[in-house]
Amino acid sequence: MLSSSGVLQPLRLFREGIPQRARACVCVCMCLRKQVESNTSHTTPQAGQAMAALPLDRITTQREADVELAKRIPDMGLRQFILQNLLLPKGGKAAWRLNLRVILDSIDTMV
């Protein structure tokens, strides 16, 4: 778990000194340690692989996505956290808010 200072420090730096050089600031919490909940164990790479396996061309609702993710991620809390990043535009194809391919390709260098 990130400490509040771990999250607030980048935000403070952005607010106080960087806005003239950058248009946006993104703070990402990536818990690379095993997350243990409900007697199951998941790692960030496994969660990413489950996200990549989601058939986005067939997903029209968050419920459908949850049912598919449940096949690989039994922990409901983790699935709900992941599904916050799923975009479901009306009449459009479901997509991830984040660049999942880049994250998966570089996950080993982030440890």
Q: Domain spans of the chain?
A: 1-30, 32-110
Mapping DSSP to helix (H, G, I), strand (E, B) and coil, where does residue 86 land? strand
Q: What is the mean pLDDT of each run of 10 residues along the chain (111 residues)?
A: 44 58 56 43 76 94 95 92 92 89 80 54
Give 51: exposed, middle or buried? Use CB within 10 Å, 0-12, 13-18, 19+.
buried
- DSSP category for residue 82: H
Q: Tell if the pTM clears 0.75, that is, is over it.
A: no
pLDDT at 105: 85
